[in-house]
């Protein structure tokens, strides 16, 4: 196979019943010059069979011999195998709109960016979260790691960035989750990070779904996949619903309005003195590596 333009890396562990949806969302991309490297974190279910069932030479499956327990090492294994000039990550429980790769790549090239952040929707299921949008960056201030977390499924980056920044660091060594730590390092290196301002990602995080792994939840993934396939107005409907809800909460709920006013002031002060507010809160509430341990417990993993 000739060298692909984009290498896509998907880390996975024993959730073959949802992995099939994320892989199909790659196959449905309008941009087809890619390779997909699926890296199992020592999977013991039928993941290998499911991946092989797609019978596409662009898709490779690698299964780590020992379980690492989180996605940093599987993603690093994928980076070592990647051949493309650009790198994308797709979490195994997330989905892409068909134009995600094409739009992100064209935007990155046109704006001479090192890394672009697509906008996306996040379904937190029954968890009570205020913000259900991702990759929405302030046009005035730009990306800052103390202000926003953007899932790796939203990224597209130049492959040489990996050589400059290095691989993902293990979660047990960090207060931040590994993906946020890596993006923070890109920012601190002075690289050009830009938002695409185009909604192309649907995140369905297992960290918001109790026992997602042990009970093998898949209903939400199936629903969003069917909408992507069969509803041409789905993006517009999601945008209308989520944006309306955000404005309703931000401007008409008095407690939320004042909470955001004061926290933004505090956040700006932290940034001025070089502190990362997201890292500070995780350090205070969970300790080093603690946030991932909390996620594992919630997901139903030992």
* pLDDT tens digit sequence for 164-180: 999 999 999 998 899 99
pLDDT, the chain, mean = 90
Task: Please indicate whether residue 257 or residue 290 has the higher confidence score (pLDDT).
Answer: 290
Higher pLDDT, 266 or 241: 241
- Of 73-77, 94-98, 204-208, least confident by mean pLDDT is 204-208
Q: Which of 156-160, 161-165, 295-299 has the lowest mean pLDDT?
A: 295-299
Cα(33)–Cα(227) distance, rounded to whole angstroms? 25
Are residues 111 and 42 in contact, defined by beta-carbon separation less than 8 angstroms? no
Q: For residue 24, what pLDDT is reported?
A: 98
Buried b (16+ CB within 10 A) or exposed e, 287-299: eebbbbbebbebb
Distance between CA atoms of residues 232 and 169, nearest Å: 39
Mean pLDDT, rounded, for 75-96 = 98
The separation between CA 203 and the C-alpha centre of its own chain, rounded to angstroms, equals 7
Between 141 and 256, the more confident residue is: 141
pLDDT exceeds cutoff 60 at 129 = no
Q: 46-51: long-range contacts at Cβ-Cβ below 8 A with a sequence spacing of 24 or more?
A: 46/16, 47/12, 47/14, 47/15, 47/16, 47/19, 49/16, 50/16, 50/19, 50/20, 51/19, 51/23
- On the question of pLDDT at 275 being above 70, the answer is no
Would you state the structure tokens that stand for residue 235, as one six-digit string? 């993006």
Which pLDDT belongs to residue 33? 98
> 289-293: long-range contacts at Cβ-Cβ below 8 A with a sequence spacing of 24 or more?
289/171, 289/172, 289/173, 289/174, 291/171, 291/175, 291/176, 291/177, 292/69, 292/70, 292/171, 292/172, 292/177
End-to-end CA distance of the chain: 39
Phi, psi (degrees; rounded to nearest 5) at 62: -130, 130
pLDDT above 90 covers a percentage of the chain that reads 67
- pLDDT tens digits along 189-226: 999 999 999 999 999 999 888 888 998 989 999 999 99
Gap between the Cα atoms of 6 and 89, Å rounded: 10
131 pLDDT above the threshold of 60: no
Nearest residue to 116 via CA among 206, 191, 12, 181: 191
| Spatial distance between the Cα atoms of 173 and 186, rounded to a whole number of angstroms | 18
Compute the distance between CA of residue 286 and CA of residue 283 in angstroms, rounded to an integer.
Answer: 6
Average pLDDT over residues 35-41: 98
pLDDT of 1 over the 70 cut: no
Domains identified in the chain and CATH numbers: 6-299 (3.90.550.10)
pLDDT at 299 over 90: no
pLDDT of 146: 83
């Amino acid at each position: 196979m000739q060298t692909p333009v984009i290498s896509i890396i998907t880390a996975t562990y024993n959730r073959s019943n949802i992995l099939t949806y994320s892989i199909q969302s790659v196959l449905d991309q309008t941009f087809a010059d890619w390779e997909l490297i699926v890296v199992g974190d020592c999977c013991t279910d039928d993941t290998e069979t499911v991946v092989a069932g797609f019978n596409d030479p662009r898709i490779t499956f690698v299964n780590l011999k020992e379980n690492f327990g989180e996605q940093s090492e599987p993603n690093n294994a994928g980076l070592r195998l990647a051949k493309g000039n650009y790198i994308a990550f797709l979490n195994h429980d997330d989905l892409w709109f068909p134009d995600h790769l094409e739009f992100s790549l064209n935007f990155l090239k046109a704006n001479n960016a090192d890394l672009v952040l697509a906008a996306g929707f996040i379904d937190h299921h029954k968890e009570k979260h205020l913000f259900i949008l991702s990759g929405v960056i302030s046009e005035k201030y730009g990306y800052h790691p103390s202000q926003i977390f953007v899932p790796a499924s939203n990224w597209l980056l130049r492959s040489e960035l990996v050589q400059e920044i290095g691989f993902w660091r293990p979660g047990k060594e960090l207060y931040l989750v590994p993906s946020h730590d890596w993006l923070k390092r890109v920012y601190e290196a002075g690289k050009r990070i830009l938002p695409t301002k185009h909604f192309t990602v649907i995140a369905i995080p297992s960290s918001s779904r109790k026992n997602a792994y042990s009970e093998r939840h898949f209903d939400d993934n199936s629903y969003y996949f069917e909408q992507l396939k069969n509803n041409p107005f789905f993006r517009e409907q999601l945008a209308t619903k989520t944006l309306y809800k955000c404005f309703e909460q931000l401007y008409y709920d008095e407690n939320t309005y004042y909470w955001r006013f004061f926290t933004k002031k505090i956040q700006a002060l932290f940034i001025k003195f070089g502190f990362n507010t997201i890292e500070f809160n995780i350090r205070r509430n969970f300790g080093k590596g603690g946030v991932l341990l909390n996620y594992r417990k919630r997901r139903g993993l030992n």
